Amino acid sequence: MNHTQTTQRVQITTADPSSLGLFGLAMVTLVASSAKLGWTDGVSFVLPWAIFLGGIAQLMASFGDAKHNNTFGMTAFGAFGLFWLGVGTSWLISFGVFGEAAAAAIDPSQLGIAYIGYLIFSIFMTVGAMETHKVLFIIFVLIDFLFLGLSLSTLGVAPEATHKLAAIAELFIALFSFYGSAASVLNTHFGKETLPVGKPFGIFK
């Protein structure tokens, strides 16, 4: 007696989450850079954008890229989404939300060490970004400069100059991320390259 076994594969099509992730990055870095550049004051109204756009929107994009089996996108959006949630929590600690004892025990150098960790992460992700497209590669290069400036300024190394470096890098991250988000939406929506993003460098592939 012959038994025939049939295997069926069901493919579920999901949207590219890059547009949402890049928009979240663009919004939070735009608002945060305005404070660093002295255009606005304080971080109280940076906090909502850090949590919802920098944090949650990028985590949503990370989950979407996981469904696409995109390890690079999942890792990038996930790591930076968690970064902004961590930064937002740090601000809440400094505001005394978790108690006066926690606020009094703050050591800014620990935040500087965390920035160094993210600098290391962003450097090797920059290498990976060379095989995505050139707009994303530029964003990662700017992120490298952002974390370099944040690390040095937080640790007290030429704080004025390195803080300004971080501020300028963050502003340009916002601008290029807006462009990248727009390109992801419009190129997909119109089914053609409406906004060019540049081909991968092709060095490693």
At residue 122, the pLDDT reads 98
pTM > 0.85: yes or no: yes
The residues, ordered by sequence, that sit 6+ positions from 59 with a Cβ below 8 Å of its Cβ are 77, 78, 81, 82
Q: For the residues 126-149, what does the mean pLDDT come to?
A: 98
> Which residue intervals of the chain are DSSP H helices?
18-36, 47-49, 58-67, 71-94, 100-104, 108-129, 134-154, 159-190
Domain topology for 18-190: 1.25.40
| Per-residue pLDDT reduced to its tens digit, 83-107 | 999 999 999 999 999 999 999 999 9
At residue 13, the pLDDT reads 74
| Per-residue pLDDT reduced to its tens digit, 46-68 | 999 999 999 999 999 999 999 99
A 10 A CB-CB count for 98 gives: 12
Mean pLDDT rounded to a whole number for the chain: 94
| Per-residue pLDDT reduced to its tens digit, 1-10 | 555 666 666 5
Give residue limits of the domains in the chain: 18-190
